[in-house]
Structure 1
Amino acid sequence: MTVRFTTILEGLEVVMGLGIHPEELAAPQRVIVSVRMEVAYAAPPAEDRIDAVLDYDFVRSGVQALVANQHFHLQETLCEAIAALCLSDARVEQVTVRTSKPDIYPDAAVGCEVVRGR
């Protein structure tokens, strides 16, 4: 019996290089990352232990490492890179990645979302 859980990392704030405009190329900016993973298991966790399920720490630390020393020009390529990170765990069947740049405009955030699966 396969069981599915949704594992969510919501509102991770990173400061990173992202964008194509001169001011975005000159300095890092705040980016908000949210990830929703549909995860399949052979059975429900029999024990209340983290090693029985997908530990979302790998996504958080993976995103932080991904953006630490790399400038992305497009939110689309950033979303794709995060989706690939999540899908590196074979239990993840589908992932939705959303990014947002909250400080570009005074009256709106701009973002991107991608859904990828196996």
Structure 2
Amino acid sequence: MSAAGSPPPIHSGNAAVASWARDPRLAGCRRLFLCEHVRAVEIGIHDFEQHAPQRLVFHVDLFVPLAASTPQADRIDEVVDYDFIRAVIAERIAAGRIGLQETLCDDIARRLLAHPQVRAVALSTAKPDVYADSRAVGVEVMLFKDAA
């Protein structure tokens, strides 16, 4: 438990992001993130996953060049809005059932990377309710615009 009495996060961030400051492809970027975004998702291939949506925890990191994310007039239209991240996730979930976390992560990461200001995306998902003997099972992907 944390000092505030809440459980520690399932994942505190994307492992691929840990060394982002050393990656020359991300030089001059700002990191935007959405942490522990929990949604009910129709996902899974096992029989026990077929009957109801299950909790899925998203962690998203976007890397945006400083030139495209440094506001001059303190206006939201000068930066990438966090609502964009949430909207992309919601749109993909609304598109219907998906079997694998890998497919879901790839789909969402590609959609986020399509934003003209985004240079790279790191995205992870975690299912906290699948195994009683584990906190979560999950997937992580990192895509760069030059490799997408």
TM-score clears 0.5: yes
CA RMSD of aligned residues (A): 1.5
Richer in helix (by share): 2
Matches within 5 A, 1:53-64: 53-64=79-90
Name the TM-score, length of structure 2 as normaliser.
Answer: 0.74
Query: How big is the shift at 1:35?
Result: 0.4
Q: Pick from 99, 113, 116: which aligns with 2:125? A: 99
Name the TM-score, length of structure 1 as normaliser.
Answer: 0.92
Counterpart of 2:99 in structure 1 is 73
Counterpart of 2:11 in structure 1 is none
Tell me, which stretches of 5 or more residues in structure 2 are unaligned?
Answer: 1-26
- Determine if the alignment matches structure 1 residue 36 to structure 2 residue 61: yes
User: Greater CA deviation, 75-84 or 33-42?
Assistant: 33-42
Number of aligned residue pairs: give it. Answer: 117
Tell me, which stretches of 5 or more residues in structure 1 are unaligned?
Answer: none
Counterpart of 1:17 in structure 2 is 42
Per-residue CA deviations over 1:27-79 (Å, capped at 9, x if unaligned) read 11000011001111426321211111000101102211211241111100000
Richer in strand (by share): 1
Counterpart of 1:89 in structure 2 is 115
Identity within the alignment, %: 40
